[in-house]
């Protein structure tokens, strides 16, 4: 079984001191170790952005894709070998901006993987522009007079779009965040863990202090995650009170369950030498 030391890649993180990405990396490691996941059977797929560098600092198989494309690549990895533990990581700009189309369709397909979003309400890598989750009126170098749009609500989108596990964590609460990620990895279906991740360099509004004053943890007495209507209502709670925890979780057939071709053997391990694709090629080149 892997230890925390086994997960070190040998490369030191290059994020800004105090960045919320550091706790997310540690939380992922905690979840992998506590869940007893094999690193030889774990693949981490990232997009572009500060979060996109996370696989560099984790000793596992990895794929750093292009901007907004972490989910289609992760989906391809999972369908090629459905026995793998597949994680996708990205930022709010990466996943809820240019990657929103892929996000929507990944939700409804319910492919069995965990998507961890570093949600800092700003574009950090490109030095501080408004992102899809920035609050209305938020002033940045790209919106000097304040953002004119209402922010994207990723949790509401996920609940209505078909995700079967929707949770929110906070970089300032490492034990709770580790638990949310572990439950997402253990869940069978598409799991979203949206992480409130302060950007200490470019976002002076959504700080550690901002979230610490507002965030509260959901308990079983307060909320049944199977209650979709209540989960949806909670997803819109923002401002003076921000809920952390599992908002929604339900059991549902996965995309892979509908593929008899991989019921017994992963696609990548099947014998294809006897398959003649000449007829298929002729159909397309005719």
Could you give all domains of the chain from N- to C-terminal order, each with its CATH number? 5-255 (3.40.50.970)
Q: Which percentage of the chain shows pLDDT scores above 90? A: 92
Q: pTM of this prediction?
A: 0.95
Span 158-206, pLDDT tens digits = 999 999 999 999 999 999 999 999 999 999 999 999 999 999 999 999 9
Which residues does 166 contact at the CB level (< 8 Å), separation at least 6? 155, 158, 159, 191, 192, 194, 231, 235, 246, 247, 248, 249
Span 62-87, pLDDT tens digits = 999 999 999 999 999 999 999 999 99
105, pLDDT greater than 90 = yes
């Amino acid at each position: 079984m892997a230890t925390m030391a086994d997960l070190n890649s040998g490369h030191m993180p290059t994020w800004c001191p105090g960045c919320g990405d550091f706790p997310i990396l540690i939380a992922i490691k905690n979840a992998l170790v506590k869940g007893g996941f094999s690193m030889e059977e774990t693949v981490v797929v990232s997009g572009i952005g500060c979060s996109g560098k996370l696989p560099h600092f984790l000793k596992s198989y990895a794929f750093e894709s292009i901007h907004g494309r972490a989910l289609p690549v992760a989906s391809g990895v999972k369908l090629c070998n459905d026995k793998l533990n597949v994680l996708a990581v990205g930022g709010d700009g990466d996943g809820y901006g240019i990657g929103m189309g892929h996000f929507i369709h990944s939700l409804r397909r319910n492919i069995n993987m965990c998507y961890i979003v570093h949600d800092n309400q700003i574009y950090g890598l490109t030095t501080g522009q408004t992102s899809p989750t920035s609050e209305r009126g938020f002033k940045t170098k790209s919106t000097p007079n304040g953002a004119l749009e209402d922010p994207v609500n990723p949790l509401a989108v996920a609940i209505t779009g078909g995700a079967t596990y929707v949770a929110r964590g906070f970089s300032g609460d490492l034990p709770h965040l580790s638990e949310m990620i572990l439950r997402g990895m253990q869940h069978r279906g598409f799991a979203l863990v949206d992480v409130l991740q302060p950007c200490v360099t470019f976002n002076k509004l959504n700080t550690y202090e901002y979230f610490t004053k507002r965030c509260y943890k959901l308990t079983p007495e307060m909320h049944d995650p199977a209650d979709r209507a209540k989960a949806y209502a909670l997803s819109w709670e923002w401002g003076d009170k921000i809920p952390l925890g599992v908002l929604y979780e339900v059991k549902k057939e996965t995309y892979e369950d509908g593929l008899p071709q991989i019921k017994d053997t992963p696609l990548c391990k099947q014998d294809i030498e006897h398959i003649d694709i000449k007829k298929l090629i002729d159909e397309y080149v005719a």
